[in-house]
Amino acid sequence: MRWRALILDWNGTVLDDLPVVYGSVIEIFRAYGLPPPSLQSYKEEITADFIQFYCGHGIPKPKNEAELNTLRTTLNQIRKHYFLKHWNEVKVRPGTRELLILAQKTGMQTAIVSAEVEEVLEKRLFDFALTDLFDRVEGNAWDKERALVNTFDFFGLKAEETVYIDDTFDGLTAANNVGAGTIGFTDGYNTEERIRAAKPNFPNGTLSKIDSMQQVIAIIKHVNWGV
């Protein structure tokens, strides 16, 4: 079996944005006059249902649907404001371009599947001059299982002919559920323990962490050409 499509998560995987994300977490707790949880607890606890994390660390729990919506809006506003202020501090991981060029040269399709707002994603890709290196970009992918299946269908490939790279338990679990190959990136939003708990194909027994694009390149060469 050879991987014929390289599918990448964006935030925390290609985009090294955890420092800014954690900065926004500190900002939110500051706004509520609360001490922020450590980066380690953030990486251990954060899930797509982010309200749980904030309320678990002292932000008053909403009592009904209306309060929940208000809280969600407030947190998103603080975060958005902080992100815009720190927009230029975020970088793409070194080796990303090399990875994508390798994929294209060897006939692999390339795609992004990301929960990021699609317009933000398109702007980032343009700013980093990466737009032309992707055959398909799917943003607003709250439901990663569905977005991944859409991507397989778009390329006319079976799930097992694709590999998905993600930095979270949730993203890797979604990819495992739909049958894609998986590489867990261990230098992103979640701890190495949570990445391993999702049981990705890589890291595995011999390779304990994957924290650079060079390692991703080595895995793809190994799987596709046995080198």
Dist CA 118 CA 124 (whole Å) = 10
Shortest separation between residue 14's beta carbon and Mg ion, angstroms:
9
**11 touches Mg ion (CB under 5 A):** yes
CA atoms of 100 and 43, how far apart (whole Å): 27
Span interacting with Mg ion, options 9-17, 31-39, 43-51, 217-225, rule CB under 5 A: 9-17
Alpha carbons 226 and 102: distance in angstroms, whole number: 15
Number of residues that bind Mg ion (CB under 5 A): 4
Which residue, 158, 157, 143, 83, is CA-closest to 113?
A: 143
The nearest distance, CB 189 to Mg ion, in angstroms, is 6
Judged by CB under 5 A, the residue of 6, 9, 116, 148 near Mg ion is 9
Chain positions 47 to 106 lying near Mg ion, rule: CB under 5 A, are: none
Tell me if 16 contacts Mg ion by CB under 5 A. no
Q: Which is nearer to Mg ion, 10 or 82 (CB)?
A: 10
Distance CA 167, CA 183 (A): 9
Closest approach, Cβ 13 to Mg ion, in A, equals 5
Of 4, 8, 20, 5, nearest in space to 114 by CA: 8
Could you tell me the smallest distance in angstroms from the CB atom of residue 194 to Mg ion? 12
Q: Residues 12, 37, 139, 203: which binds Mg ion (CB under 5 A)?
A: 12
Closer residue to Mg ion in complex, CB, 19/35 = 19
The set of residues, in sequence order, having a beta carbon less than 8 Å from that of 142 and lying 6+ positions away, is 48, 115
The tokens of 153 are what? Answer: 């269908």
Q: Which is nearer to Mg ion, 9 or 16 (CB)?
A: 9
Binders of Mg ion among residues 142 to 201 (CB under 5 A) are: 167
Distance CA 57, CA 219 (A): 38
- Contact stretch for Mg ion (CB under 5 A) within 3-11, 31-39, 134-142, 172-180: 3-11
DSSP conformational letter for 160: G
Please identify, using beta-carbon distances, which residue of 48 and 129 lies nearer to Mg ion: 48
Q: Smaller CB distance to Mg ion: residue 188 or 224?
A: 188
Burial 109-130 (b: 16+ CB within 10 A, else e): bbbbbbbbeeebbeebbeebeb
Judged by the rule CB under 5 A, the positions of this chain that interact with Mg ion are 9, 11-12, 167
